[in-house]
Amino acid sequence: MADQDRSPRSRIAGPPIDLQISYRLGPPLIYVKGELDHDTTGYLREMIEQELKESTQVLVLDFSELAYMDSGGLSLMFDTVQRFTDPGWLGVVGANSGVGRLLEITGLVDHPRFFLFADLRAAAGAIDAGGST
pLDDT tens for 40-73 read 999 999 999 999 997 899 999 999 999 999 999 9
Q: What would the DSSP string read from start to end of 92-129?
A: EES--HHHHHHHHHTTGGGSTTEEEESSHHHHHHHHHT
Query: What superfamily in CATH does domain 15-128 come from?
Result: STAS domain (3.30.750.24)
Sign of CA dihedral 118, 14, 80, 22: negative
Q: Is the pLDDT of residue 6 over 90?
A: no
- What pTM was estimated for this model as a whole? 0.86
Residue 20's CB is within 10 A of a number of other CB atoms, namely 11
Q: What is the pLDDT of residue 55?
A: 84
Q: What is the pLDDT of residue 37?
A: 95
Q: Is the pLDDT of residue 10 over 70?
A: no
pLDDT tens for 70-123 read 999 999 999 999 999 989 999 999 999 999 999 999 999 999 999 999 999 999
Q: What is the pLDDT of residue 115?
A: 97
Mode of pairing for the β-strands spanning 58-69 and 114-117? unpaired
Q: What is the pLDDT of residue 4?
A: 43
Sign of CA dihedral 119, 110, 40, 46: positive
Q: What is the pLDDT of residue 12?
A: 43
Q: What is the pLDDT of residue 130?
A: 81
Residues 6+ apart with CB under 8 A from 78: 106, 108
